[in-house]
Amino acid sequence: MASADHLRALDLKAFDDTRAGVKGLADAAVTALPSIFHHPAESLPDAAPQTHRFTVPVIDLSAAVTTRAAVVAQVKEAAETVGFFQVVGHGVPEAATAAMLAAARGFFEEPVDAKAPFYTRDLGRRVRYQSNLNLFKSRAANWRDTLFMELPAAPEEIPAACRSAAPEYARLVQQGLGATLLGLLSEALGLRPGHLE
């Protein structure tokens, strides 16, 4: 008789081998959540109301033009105390963001055979599509699919649905937002603005 772990491993492999991800399950109109997505009761969060009121720091990068020292101080405080922060006023045009989101949605809406060539667990590939990065290691799968793109990449490496929007979006994020954040983090560390670039 096969162990529960062995049966689970077989179910995970069968799911992964479809290359369809959770979108494939949704498209198939499954009526019950497959067992690979069942989280053990002991791993579920307590349903009791939470008393803490943690908020993610929000930093307006557009203010760096006129009050750079204040923004550097905000970045330093957030990085030291929380370890991360959300940015607004980052300069990436809304049209570019909307185009990238539409392209990604377009990719996920494509038929399985169009997405399958990008489905991989090879972390060395610059563009990859997968369901659950840690599918074979986690106690339960999460209901999500991911398209990861490390750009720049050769045009043929990028899904057709994303080929026009992704390179421009990546350029805007890297040259604008990325350069700004690296400059602010450099200054927060007491270094010259371009040190981390």
Q: CA 73, 78, 84, 88 torsion: positive or negative? A: negative
Alpha carbons 181 and 76: distance in angstroms, whole number: 11
The pLDDT of residue 39 is: 87
Q: pTM for the complete prediction?
A: 0.83
pLDDT at 44: 77
Per-residue pLDDT reduced to its tens digit, 8-54 = 999 999 999 999 999 999 999 999 999 999 988 887 777 777 777 78
Q: What is the pLDDT at residue 1?
A: 65
Answer whether residue 157 shows pLDDT above 80: yes
